[in-house]
Amino acid sequence: MASILKEGSSLETMLDFVVAARSGLLAKKKLVPLAKAWAPYKATLRKARDARDDARESRIECSAKERVTATDWRPALGEVSRYAFVAAKSDADASPYSDLFGTIKSNEAQGYGFERATAFGDTIITKAGALAHPTLTAPVAAFAPLNADFRAAGTARVTAESAESTHEVARKKLLAELTALAHETEADILKAYPGRRDLVRAILSGGDAPKRKPKVG
């Protein structure tokens, strides 16, 4: 069978295939009853396509928010580090700097992914609260909500990525259903028109009608 459906066929390709196959069946009176099985897939594929696009847009939006919150989070952590270093009289082994950061420098933590970064941020906030050093009050107070925002944005992005991935499962399911339907339809066409593989190709090849090449000369 000359089908355009392949393992990686998109929802758009499947939708085009359904429209073409159903229309081709409707063009032959003896095959009109076969078109009924194809009819529901037009709406189903449109709904799946729109849901997939919504999920992709949601993931893009969440990724953008995470990037922005990370951009705010990094310098805010740097400010906590700077104030702690000044309070420690520029001695990385002295309190309160060593108490907050230990062997992990601010620049290193700023390269973490959101989960590890915000967990590190939580530790800084907790330790600063226990130290109650007056120099750290303002920078930590500014950093704390940004740490929470970064976590929320990162969590939302992960959730959106997971939701988007479920649409690949739906695509594969629809592809399997349409492939099976195409095979059934091929057999039914040949029952109605024995030997007419040209008719099978015309109906199940999908896409637009072939264009004739212009004659040269």
Residue in this structure with the two tokens 């399997």, named with its chain if needed: 176
Residue 42 lies in a domain: yes
d(Cα 210, Cα 184) in Å, to the nearest integer?
A: 24
Question: Which residue type occupies 99?
Answer: D
Residue 36 lies in a domain: yes
State both tokens at 168.
């690949």
Residue 97 lies in a domain: yes
- Picking from 174, 162, 172, 169, the residue whose alpha carbon sits closest to that of residue 56 is 162
- For 46-92, the pLDDT digits (tens) are 999 999 999 999 999 999 999 999 999 999 999 999 999 999 999 99
Question: What is the rounded average pLDDT for all residues in the chain?
Answer: 93
pLDDT band (50, 70, 90) for residue 130: very high
pLDDT band (50, 70, 90) for residue 5: confident
Residue 142 contacts residue 41 (beta carbons within 8 Å): no
pLDDT band (50, 70, 90) for residue 217: very low
Least-confidence region, from 27-31, 102-106, 123-127, 213-217: 213-217
**How large is the angle between the packed helices 39-87 and 114-131, nearest 10 degrees?**
30
- The total domain count for the chain is 1
Residue 215 lies in a domain: no
- For 158-213, the pLDDT digits (tens) are 999 999 999 999 999 999 999 999 999 999 999 999 999 999 999 998 755 545 55
Q: What is the pLDDT of residue 161?
A: 96
- Picking from 41, 47, 11, 10, the residue whose alpha carbon sits closest to that of residue 182 is 41
Residue 2 lies in a domain: no
Residue 6 lies in a domain: no
Domain around 86: 11-204
Residue 210 lies in a domain: no
Provide, rounded to the nearest whole percent, the portion of the chain with pLDDT above 90: 88
Residue 49 contacts residue 43 (beta carbons within 8 Å): no
Residue 110 contacts residue 146 (beta carbons within 8 Å): no
Residue 67 lies in a domain: yes
Q: What is the pLDDT of residue 206?
A: 72
- Picking from 135, 211, 164, 178, the residue whose alpha carbon sits closest to that of residue 15 is 178
Distances (CA, A) of 178 to 49, 78, 166, 189: 15, 56, 19, 16
